[in-house]
Amino acid sequence: MAGNVLEFGDNNFDAEVLKAEVPVLVDFWAPWCAPCRIIAPAVEELATQYTGRAKVGKINIDEHQGVAQRFNIMSIPTLLVFKGGQAVGQIVGAAPKPQLEALLKKALGA
């Protein structure tokens, strides 16, 4: 993963996301997904912008199907924001960076 973007998987999702003390933006993606590649730079920018205030990471649904099934991910990209162990926001599809940032800001209470 690039820069500050974390890599989540079935093995670390609960510890890194659900038990996180800060909001977490999770990008459910796959390498073959063109819209996923389109939003990747925006996700990377948010990871850098919100370092220390939030976590930003990706989970490859081809390699980690357990988490995707748990959260009923039916299409990608799907971005979920978690706060206090709960999903508090969702965007499905290749949304522009301002829309992704608004989702994260809402979870931060900004």
Radius of gyration (C-alpha) of the chain in whole angstroms: 12
Asked whether the beta carbons of 109 and 55 are under 8 A apart, the reply is: no
Residue 89's pLDDT is 95
In the chain (110 residues long), the average pLDDT of successive 10-residue segments reads 84 96 97 96 95 96 95 96 96 95 90
The maximal CA–CA distance of the chain, rounded, in angstroms, is: 34
Residue 19's pLDDT is 96
57 catalytically annotated:
no
Catalytic one of 5, 17, 25, 33: 33
Q: What is the pTM of this model?
A: 0.95
Written as one string, the DSSP assignment of 59-81 is EETTT-HHHHHHTT--SSSEEEE
30 catalytically annotated:
no
Catalytic one of 5, 25, 26, 36: 36
Residue 2's pLDDT is 57
Which residue segments constitute the domains of the chain, with CATH numbers given? 6-108 (3.40.30.10)
